[in-house]
């Protein structure tokens, strides 16, 4: 078992279960083997896509795809605007859901193998989100086929299959993060400014 950390120094660190540093991920490589920059500003989100593939997102850079065997970023995903803990792996696939500041494409789906955005899926998931709502964080409940997403002031629960908004609720303060309740598929925990923590049900 390993876990990852990342932040303002633009380095991803991999630790083992004894909290020992095993590797640092810092640089990318082009298709012809030349070194290239990876992140040029702070990293906001880093997630395992598979045991050998890590995705990371930050300000002013494409999403980086890191090969854990080589320790290098070997591919990049273009077209999103990351500014938060925006990455959410789609279970049992090599795809990720990205919360983006793209107007009209606030939820984007990427295939990390083909290195392309799945535009139809992105359009379906974003279709019923008002364009002025910038999604900060989204979490996918694969068992219920639902996406829980927050903007700064609004909670959305969206059908992953159809894109329909199943629930929309105003939040009492500016939202910071959302996590799914691991014990129940109909519940999530939303953290807001002013120390407000909400338990929200569908």
CB 100 within 8 A of CB 106: yes
| Domain region containing 50 | 1-78
Residues 89 and 156 in one domain: yes
Q: Would you state the pLDDT for residue 118?
A: 97
| Residue range 137-193, pLDDT digits in tens | 999 999 889 999 999 999 999 999 999 999 999 999 999 999 999 988 899 999 999
CB 5 within 8 A of CB 21: no
Residues 171 and 144 in one domain: yes
Q: Would you state the pLDDT for residue 1?
A: 78
Does residue 85 fall inside a structural domain? yes
Q: Would you state the pLDDT for residue 104?
A: 83
Q: Would you state the pLDDT for residue 110?
A: 98
Residues 9 and 96 in one domain: no
Please state the domain count of the chain: 2
As given in the structure block, the two tokens for residue 62 are: 């494409």
| Residue range 89-131, pLDDT digits in tens | 999 999 999 999 888 889 999 999 999 999 999 999 999 999 8
How many Cβ atoms from other residues are within 10 Å of residue 22's Cβ? Answer: 11
Question: pTM score > 0.95 for this model?
Answer: no
Does residue 113 fall inside a structural domain? no
CB 13 within 8 A of CB 6: yes
Kindly tell me the burial class for residue 59, based on how many C-beta atoms sit within 10 Å of its own C-beta (0-12, 13-18, 19 or more): middle
Q: Would you state the pLDDT for residue 103?
A: 81
Cα-Cα end-to-end distance for the chain: 33
As given in the structure block, the two tokens for residue 194 are: 């002013």
| Residue range 129-144, pLDDT digits in tens | 998 899 999 999 998 8
Residues 67 and 90 in one domain: no
Kindly tell me the burial class for residue 107, based on how many C-beta atoms sit within 10 Å of its own C-beta (0-12, 13-18, 19 or more): buried
| Residue range 21-62, pLDDT digits in tens | 999 999 999 988 899 989 999 999 999 999 999 999 998 889
Report the candidate in 47, 96, 55, 57 with the shortest Cα–Cα distance to residue 74.
55
Residues 12 and 25 in one domain: yes
């Amino acid at each position: 078992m390993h876990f990852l950390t990342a932040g303002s120094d633009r380095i991803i660190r991999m630790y083992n279960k004894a909290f020992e540093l095993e590797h640092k991920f810092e640089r990318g490589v082009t298709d012809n083997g030349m070194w290239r920059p990876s992140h040029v500003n702070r990293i906001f989100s880093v997630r395992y896509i598979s045991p050998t593939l890590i995705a990371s997102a930050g300000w002013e850079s494409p999403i980086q795809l890191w090969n854990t065997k080589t320790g290098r970023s070997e591919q990049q995903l273009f077209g999103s605007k990351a500014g938060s803990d925006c990455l959410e792996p789609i279970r049992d696939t090599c795809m990720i859901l990205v919360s983006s500041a793209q107007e009209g494409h606030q939820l984007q789906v990427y295939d990390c193998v083909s290195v392309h955005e799945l535009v139809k899926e992105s359009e379906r998931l974003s279709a019923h989100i008002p364009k002025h709502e910038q999604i900060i964080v989204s979490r996918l409940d694969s068992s219920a086929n639902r996406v829980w997403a927050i903007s700064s002031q609004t909670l959305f629960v969206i059908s992953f299959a159809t894109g329909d908004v199943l629930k929309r609720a105003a939040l009492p303060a500016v939202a910071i993060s959302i996590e799914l309740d691991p014990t129940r598929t109909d519940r999530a925990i939303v953290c807001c400014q002013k120390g407000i923590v909400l338990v929200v049900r569908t």
